[in-house]
Structure 1
Amino acid sequence: MASILRHPLCGLFFAFIFGAALLISGCATPYVPPKVEEPGLTKASSFGGIMSFAEQEDLRVVWVHGMCTHKEDWADNRHALLQQAIPIGSSSRNTVYGPRRTARVTFNHSVNGHSLELRFLVWSPLAADAKIAIGLDHNDELKRASLNRDLKNGLIDDCFSDAVIYTGAAGDPIRSWMRSEVCDALGGNISAAGRCVIDNSEPRRKTVLVAESLGSKILSDAIVAIWQTAPASEQSRIAQRLGDVQMVFLLANQIPLLNAATYSPGAARIAADKSADRASGSLLDVFASARSRKNKAFVAEPSGSIRFVAFTDPNDLLSYRLFPKAYLPADMKITNVIVSNDQTYLGLLERPDTAHCGYGWNPAVIATVAQGYDGKRLGSIPVNVPHSCGLGG
């Protein structure tokens, strides 16, 4: 029997049966349209998107890419998506280069007479050197199945490696540059002592943060570091600027997974203690502390509530929902948007690469970031941008 199963014709037969089953069963996208959840509520409440705020007053958007090598044209790609989703018209483009050709690509628009500034932060060049040794194994000497080869070269060597690089000492340049960029976006600059000092001459403006994949952790760490290192004399101004952040969109939230790299029992005990000072905790902790009336450094009311929106495909192996903590102030909201980035075959498999990086071309995800949610149904826009991922398509 075993010899029969190993016969080439047997392999073809089973391949035919499997293919026929796929055709008969078809494929499914269980979360098209997406499911919107707000923990603690039976029906999720509405929230704004980029256009909602831009129509009312000056707005700054800071968008951070995720793992896998990204070049400057990623910023043009994301900007094109927003132009398809909302009527922001023409713009001026400016690029400020940092160490190793990191880039802050800025597009400036005018919406209803208000300034809309879109900042896209490209940190990928800072991980390039650390990937060189990994690439030495990319050769034709070893026979690899084509699917495994593509997964190794793409998802593992180019993409997952970014998370490994970032969590180690090689990630220090990324952390340093992102901290400087976030400080600048808040209206400050990094002092010689490495602290974010807010320049009061810089006007306050409402802010929306968008982070993809590993970018969620990188952005989170930058904000936490700025808050942790702020001296008492600066904390009130930083709290005020953090109070201007209206929305945080997380496309493939990786914060829970990567926070495990720095887990400690002491930190866990602090998180469980409702009476403890959480100023040195997670991203949610920092925003809660900055917005709390009990914070002695707080000198001004936040300019509005803040909502964290996490987009997750349940078949994305590297994405996690957000869950509220009991101590969060009433003006901090959490929403989870459950999506399907690709088709699920036989209920067994969704391509792992597109499940993870498909948020960038998911019509509902981009529409929600751009337009918000009316409390009834998420919008959807035609997405005409390149679809590229770990398997090259």
Structure 2
Amino acid sequence: MNKRTIKTTKLLSSLFIALLLSGCTSFGKGVVEAVLEKSENEDTRQCQVWGQSFKGIAANLDNKKGKTKILFVHGVGDHVPGYTTQFLEKLAKNLYLNARSAEQKNIELTAPLLSDKTLGNLRISHLLNEQNGQELTFYELTWSEISRAEKQILAFDTSGDHDFRRAKINGLLKKFSNDAGADPVIFSGESREPILATFGQSFCWMATADWQELPSSGKQACIGLDDSAADRIAKDHYVFISHSMGSRIVTDGLDRIIGLLSNYKSIVDSKALEAFKNKHIRIYMLSNQLPMLQLGRKPPEVTGDDASYCQANGANYNKRMFKETDIVAFSDPNDLLSYSIPHEFAEKYIDSRLCADITNVNINVAPTMDAFGLTDFANPMTAHIGYDTDDRVIALIAQGIGTKDEAPLIKQRCTFTKEVH
């Protein structure tokens, strides 16, 4: 019996008892069974996609010239290495990658300008299909080590001195609030630069080394990019997946890299820069929070000028960061902390040098309860954290939509509307 059925049972219990006491036992039983059967068998959760068709990760696996590399960046709340395990197992099954490295590599991230700090952990797994030779390298970034120490300021609030005074449910909610609610505040302060440095270091490891060349463990810094990595950069495929506040870390992290490359061109040779400028990357934002996290911040240095930076005849075409960046923003309308990306927002607040193309996915990852009009409710917590285990989300990431490779599940359960500019 799933969670939805259990909740429906509770809602109908009073109705069932009333019918039983009034002598309508058989009628009451029939009504309850009918509603429960509907709850168990009918999944009416919506899945609507607006924007451009896109290929999934599977399309890149056939490219024998380069490697496919995915970086996952978590959002609010304390995380420990391994938090993507369930997601990665589902993705691997969907991509028919039936073998994996016996051990994961764990790099304790540091950076040349922050050498006295451990910035977080980069956990790396290698997946492959032994029959056809397809392979994928998965990078899981954990940056909670940076914010964990700062959250100790609030530790008194959930200690024995205070916690027993709260109702149990409220106590749990308070712990969640102190943990998750603190991260955006921390990110807006002095810890922003170290958090973005963890992203920059993770990206550097992706761009400059393959699985066999990566260190297995230890405190390591990726020194930089040079012409020796240009060929790898040109041939490899980069995919970013974020959850909640991770969407902001990815975009701000890419902006930071753009700034470093623009201000310190001498540290990056011309071939490597040109390789980046010709890349097509994709960012999947689960529980996207870009609009909310833009509040109180200055916009990027360059916005609203895509034509100049992204068209071959544009005046600033040679100053672009990537040739094209596909942003696929997932949002459950019942997730209180996620948002779509309207085109007006993208034009004002997404860096033009990314050459971004936006696709919005409106998807119910949490079921909505509706029994005789007594309730219309979806668990907002499930709506916020359920993306990375939802089969439709996994299928969209793996096979895309609007192409010949679209998964049968997506054809059955999702609708796609192409937007024409």
TM-score (norm 2): 0.68
Aligned to 2:358: 334
Structure whose CA Rg is larger = 2
Equivalent pair of 2:310/2:320 in contact (CA under 8 Å): no
CA distance in 1, matches of 2:308, 2:105: 34
Q: How does 1:248-263 map to 2 (within 5 A)?
A: 248-263=283-298
Q: Deviations over 1:203-229 (max 9, x none)?
A: 121211111111111111110011123
Aligned length: 339
| Residue 67 of structure 2 corresponds to residue 69 of structure 1 | no
Equivalent pair of 1:227/1:235 in contact (CA under 8 Å): no
Aligned to 1:95: 106
Q: How does 1:201-350 map to 2 (within 5 A)?
A: 201-202=228-229, 203-204=232-233, 205-231=236-262, 233=265, 234=268, 237-238=272-273, 240-241=275-276, 243-263=278-298, 267=299, 280-281=301-302, 291-293=310-312, 294=314, 296=316, 298=318, 305-324=324-343, 325=346, 332-346=356-370, 348-350=376-378
- Cα offset for 1:100? 3.7
| Residue 169 of structure 2 corresponds to residue 147 of structure 1 | yes
> Tell me, what secondary structure is at the counterpart of 1:314?
coil
CA distance in 1, matches of 2:79, 2:393: 20
Query: Unaligned 5+ residue runs, structure 1?
Result: 1-14, 39-44, 189-193, 268-277, 382-393
Alignment partner of 1:105 out of 99, 123, 132: 123
- Cα offset for 1:95? 1.6
TM-score (norm 1): 0.73
Query: Unaligned 5+ residue runs, structure 2?
Result: 1-12, 19-31, 110-116, 210-220, 411-421
Equivalent AA in structure 2 for residue 120 of structure 1? E
Aligned to 1:41: none
CA distance in 2, matches of 1:143, 1:19: 35
Q: Deviations over 1:22-62 (max 9, x none)?
A: x7798799862411112xxxxxx531111111122421111
| Residue 94 of structure 2 corresponds to residue 85 of structure 1 | yes
Aligned to 1:178: 199
CA distance in 2, matches of 1:109, 1:256: 34
- Supply the RMSD in Å over aligned alpha carbons: 4.0
Equivalent AA in structure 2 for residue 50 of structure 1? I
Q: Structure 1 residues 302 and 152 mapped into 2: Cα distance closer, same or farther (>3 Å)?
A: closer
Aligned to 1:119: 139
Equivalent pair of 1:208/1:245 in contact (CA under 8 Å): no
CA distance in 1, matches of 2:60, 2:122: 22
CA distance in 1, matches of 2:173, 2:193: 27
| Residue 360 of structure 2 corresponds to residue 351 of structure 1 | no
Equivalent AA in structure 2 for residue 171 of structure 1? R
Q: Deviations over 1:147-203 (max 9, x none)?
A: 32221112x111121122111123332122222222443449xxxxx9995322111
Aligned to 1:387: none
CA distance in 1, matches of 2:198, 2:169: 36
CA distance in 1, matches of 2:89, 2:382: 20
Q: Deviations over 1:240-290 (max 9, x none)?
A: 315424321110111111111314xxx5xxxxxxxxxx7x246x97x8876
Aligned to 1:160: 181
Q: Structure 1 residues 130 and 373 mapped into 2: Cα distance closer, same or farther (>3 Å)?
A: same
CA distance in 2, matches of 1:59, 1:363: 21
CA distance in 2, matches of 1:301, 1:361: 32
Matched-pair identity in %: 24
Q: Structure 1 residues 118 and 245 mapped into 2: Cα distance closer, same or farther (>3 Å)?
A: farther
